[in-house]
């Protein structure tokens, strides 16, 4: 299950685990845009470990409603 709380900044995301303890909940401490991606500084809610993730979109599918023109 993926839960994102913007106000509390607590993110439980599958696939982003703390490198120190393996917990899947982290707080985003800093977020910056870089060309083609977003750099996020994260902190584990269990052990307090910090690490950086660089997140980008690999593929994009546009869904349409209705008939093809």
How far is Cα 64 from Cα 56, in angstroms, rounded to an integer? 23
Beta bridge partners of 41: 30, 52
Write the pLDDT tens digit of every residue in 2-59. Answer: 444 556 555 555 567 888 888 888 888 999 998 888 899 999 888 999 999 888 877 6
Domain boundaries, the chain: 3-55
The CATH number of 3-55 is 2.20.25
Element housing 23 (H / E):
none
pTM (two decimals): 0.60
Residue length of the chain: 69
């Amino acid at each position: 299950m993926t839960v994102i709380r913007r106000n509390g900044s607590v993110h439980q995301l599958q696939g982003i685990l703390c490198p120190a303890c393996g917990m899947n909940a982290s707080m985003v401490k800093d977020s910056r845009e870089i060309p083609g991606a977003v750099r996020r500084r994260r902190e584990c809610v269990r052990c307090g470990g910090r690490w950086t993730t660089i997140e980008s979109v690999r593929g994009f599918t546009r869904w349409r409603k209705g008939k093809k023109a």
